[in-house]
Amino acid sequence: MNNSTRWRKSTHSGGNEGECVELAEIDGHIGIRDSKNPAAGHLTLAREDFADLLTHLASQS
């Protein structure tokens, strides 16, 4: 990851500044981090794994 990485807040985070997730494309992968604590690091997933995660999360609601 470099300083030009563009993080964007999830549209599902809402506007109340509560528990927010940010996403970024990092070298063809998807980075996920806590917007309230970006210095804590991030999780990087392959696109296929990110899609599987979203499918799993959608099935839980």
pLDDT 10s digits, 28-47: 999 999 988 999 999 999 99
Question: Rounded to whole angstroms, how far apart are CA atoms 19 and 47?
Answer: 23
Core vs surface per residue 40-58: b (16+ CB within 10 A) or e: eebebbeeeebeeeeeeee
Instruction: Give yes or no for residue 2 having a pLDDT over 80.
Output: no
What pLDDT is attached to residue 15? 64
What pLDDT is attached to residue 61? 76
pLDDT band at 10 (very low <50, low <70, confident <90, very high): confident
